[in-house]
A and B are shown apart, each in its own frame.
Chain A
């Protein structure tokens, strides 16, 4: 709808413009439109591309996600998790985007760039629709931006490929040497290359080398307590609750992440939270990747006081905002964790957790290398 409104405004402005300036130098203005499209496209592609060349675009699969049933993820999450499990594919996508962006920066190769971009982002558009990504306007906009460059040479491409006729490349270009914008052009080109190529490229490489992620909290988790734990004993208000598919309050298992997140699997069905915005959040408190678009587990952010070993849990899901715990943590032995304290309603709670010592195939494969794993006929 917004796009239609803007089209209406564009038509009105175009008619007004035409009444004021009836004769337009078509070649020159089409050239301006192509310059705008090329550089706008290249800026988007270089950022998105470098985030994939150095695979930061989607984070590694968290332990909680590895301990979540496949059907509990929403479709868009499935796509992100698939990309996460195949970083080489992500790198390939990034190389295509960066290569297309570089081709777009030069007038003579811009057409080759959009030949990459239109099927690439056409496919992204279809993936957005199929996986209910909600960002299909972005891919549509990118394809729209590529059209002025594509249409400019489309006739020549048809003549060459379909009619197999001798075809001269487009010869018209702006004589920048006689233009008052000559100096601005050089400064603009250099600034663009420095910011979007060198700064973004270096920053992505640096983040990759330092194993940063852009989606999970950066605060460290508990020292020596990471992974999946079974709930051996669960005592609520003095009553020991045995494992049962009908008992909603009992925890089934707990996962401690490497950062300050703890997730709990319970019997009750979880009201899934949708991300409020498609923008990537900066601060830990706003990073919602791990708990949005997924059910099965409740995700808590925790603070740990080393002085009195108090673990304070706060539920991240807005539908469970009242869910909180204040628990004292102790380790009866190296494989067990004992949590004692109260929940947000004041009920007393005692939970004994035992390390499940679960091995994850993704990590096991990394130890030996992907090439050494496989089947022999």
Chain B
């Protein structure tokens, strides 16, 4: 087995890859914009669809 394949198959590699993936995806999903919290705090039945759409699409863009 080549060295690269050995590293790829090792639990150590899987372990660090899993930790990085988990943290990265969770970090990307944490909304940090002020817009997110202002929408969340002003959620209303009348504008529910607009608010939910915005909340879903805010979480992936930053700054």
Contact = CB atoms under 8 A, between A and B. Distances in A.
Interface residues of A, number: 48
Is chain A's binding surface mostly helix, strand, loop or mixed?
Answer: helix
Interface string B10-48: 010011101111111111110000010000000001011
B62 A203 contact: no
A137 B22 contact: no
A194 interface: no
A342 interface: no
Contacts of B63: 2
A33 B20 contact: no
B26 A36 contact: yes
B49 A204 contact: yes
Nearest to A8: B24
A30 B58 CA distance: 25
Contact of B57 (A2, A24, A138): A138
Given A37-B25, A200-B49, A279 B54 contact: yes
B28 A144 contact: yes
Interface string A99-141: 0000000000000000000000000000000000001011011
Interface string A302-321: 00000000000000000000
Contacts of A88: none
A18 B14 CA distance: 12
A26 B14 contact: yes
A10 B18 CA distance: 11
B53 A6 contact: no
Interface of B: 11, 14-16, 18-29, 35, 45, 47-54, 56-63
